[in-house]
């Protein structure tokens, strides 16, 4: 597929990214580092869970077939104890919740249904409930606990911990290099001279990657073709993903493309019809993926959330999923009739089961104020002029 000379739309480009990026290799990581990582092998129960019959209540264990009303307390079992013994008729064992039953075929009479006097217990009420969590009740040995390609949640990690599965095999995190280019850029903590602006894209890229557990290596470069070529030469050897924040001009786009090609990258796409985000570059060199991101902050935001997101999902080994959500406009969206498919920043909130989207004001891909409250991007079809309040729209959460 040679897309370099055409401009794919967002859906087509996402499909190309999904087809191009490969899941990264795997590594075993400690549970403490595994939250949000994607499991790359199925995990099966190495034993029954519970591993032994446990009392579900505080009470008195007696034989199930013993209809006595008064029992002699012959032992006490707390959680963690292991005191196997057969019980005779008329015998009982005081047992705490979680305690291992001393034998099979017992019933636990709840503490509340009995009264004691010395080492005797009198049963006031006997229900059919055995009050036992039986061995294997939650999981049987060999059963699949977590499927491969599952993102590990806190709950899944607790489950793995309970089986002693303390080093799950997950996708490695991509090594990301971010190069911010542009003569007009100064660091956020610096005072720009006249004509300069502060670099906000480095902050954006870093924060965008953080929930993925990725700390990029970041470099700010002057708008200099040789400097970029050189930085790419080094990065391509060590990174899985290279993000280049371009300068705003056409010239900057051109030399980003040239620098990638000189470093042996195949440029698969050099522009999209996506608005904002048109001058996007998507390139690869073997398994190494590079994006040239248009320098304007809103375009950056859109390209990160649509395209880099799709690459990260594939690197992690997630199956290409369901991308677009559906919601309803909470106010009119004055789309303006632009011919290109537009991704419109919006604030999304749930209201009685419906995702309500409030479109935010923006007029230029250089705008940033909409990003204060944006948590969604609405997909607006090309040529749409105005979408009324209540219109059903597709969107992504950012």
Which residues from 120-149 bind a copy of itself, rule CB under 8 A? 133, 137-139, 143, 145-146
Site for a copy of itself in 65-84 (CB under 8 A): 78-83
**Whether 148 contacts 41, CB under 8 Å:** yes
Residue 262: phi and psi, rounded to 5, are -65, -25
396 binds a copy of itself (CB under 8 A): no
Site for a copy of itself in 194-223 (CB under 8 A): 194-204, 206-208, 210-211, 223
Q: How far is the CB of 170 from a copy of itself (least distance, A)?
A: 14
Pairing verdict, β 185-186 and 197-198: parallel
Where on the phi/psi map is residue 200: left (φ > 0), alpha (ψ -120 to 50), or beta? Answer: alpha
Site for a copy of itself in 16-55 (CB under 8 A): 31-32, 35, 49-52, 54
Site for a copy of itself in 336-355 (CB under 8 A): 345, 349-350, 352-355
Encoded one letter per residue, x for contact with a copy of itself by CB under 8 A and - for no contact, window 164-183 reads xxx---------------xx
The single residue among 157, 241, 242, 289 that binds a copy of itself, judged by CB under 8 A, is 157
Site for a copy of itself in 253-292 (CB under 8 A): none
- Closest by CA position to 36, among listed 161, 171, 153, 158: 153
Extract the tokens encoding 214.
């990725």
The single residue among 168, 247, 276, 317 that binds a copy of itself, judged by CB under 8 A, is 247
Location of structure tokens 């009479």: 109
* Cα distance between residue 335 and residue 126, in whole Å: 71
Encoded one letter per residue, x for contact with a copy of itself by CB under 8 A and - for no contact, window 102-121 reads ---------x----------
Q: Output 180 or 268, the one with its CB closest to a copy of itself.
A: 180
Cβ neighbour number for residue 36 with a 10 Å cutoff: 16
Residues with Cβ within 8 Å of 302's Cβ and at least 6 positions away in sequence, in order, are: 274, 276, 277, 343, 377
């Amino acid at each position: 597929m040679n897309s370099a000379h055409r401009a794919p739309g967002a859906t087509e480009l996402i499909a190309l990214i999904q087809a191009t990026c490969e899941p990264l290799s795997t590594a075993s990581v400690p549970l403490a580092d595994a939250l949000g990582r994607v499991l790359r092998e199925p995990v099966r129960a190495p034993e029954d869970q519970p591993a032994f019959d446990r009392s579900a209540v505080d009470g008195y264990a007696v034989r199930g077939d013993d209809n006595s009303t008064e029992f002699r307390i012959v032992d006490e079992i707390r959680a963690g104890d292991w005191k196997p013994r057969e019980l005779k008729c008329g015998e009982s064992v005081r047992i705490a919740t979680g305690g291992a039953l001393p034998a099979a075929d017992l019933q636990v009479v709840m503490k509340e249904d009995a009264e004691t006097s010395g080492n005797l217990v009198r049963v006031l009420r006997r229900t059919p409930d055995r009050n036992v969590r039986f061995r294997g009740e939650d999981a049987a040995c060999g059963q699949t606990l977590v499927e491969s390609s599952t993102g590990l949640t806190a709950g899944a990690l607790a489950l793995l911990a309970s089986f002693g599965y303390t080093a799950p095999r997950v996708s490695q995190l991509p090594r990301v290099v971010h190069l911010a280019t542009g003569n007009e850029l100064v660091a956020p903590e610096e005072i720009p001279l006249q004509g300069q602006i502060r670099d906000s894209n480095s902050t954006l890229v870093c924060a965008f990657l953080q929930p993925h557990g990725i700390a990029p290596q970041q470099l700010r470069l002057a708008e200099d073709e040789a400097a970029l070529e050189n930085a790419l030469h080094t990065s391509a050897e060590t990174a899985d993903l290279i993000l280049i924040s371009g300068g705003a001009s056409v010239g900057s786009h051109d030399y980003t493309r040239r620098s990638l090609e000189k470093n042996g990258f195949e440029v698969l796409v050099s522009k999209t019809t996506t608005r904002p985000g048109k001058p996007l570059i998507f390139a690869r060199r073997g398994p190494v993926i590079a994006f040239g991101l248009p320098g304007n902050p809103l375009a950056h935001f859109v390209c990160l959330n649509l395209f880099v997101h799709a690459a990260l999902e594939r690197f992690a080994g997630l199956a290409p999923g369901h991308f677009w959500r559906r919601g309803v406009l909470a106010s009119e969206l004055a789309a303006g009739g632009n011919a290109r498919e537009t991704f419109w920043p919006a604030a999304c909130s749930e209201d009685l089961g419906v995702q309500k989207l409030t479109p935010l004001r923006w007029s230029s891909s250089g705008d940033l104020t909409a990003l204060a409250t944006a948590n969604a991007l609405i997909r607006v079809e090309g040529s749409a002029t105005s979408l009324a309040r209540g219109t059903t729209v597709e969107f992504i959460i950012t």
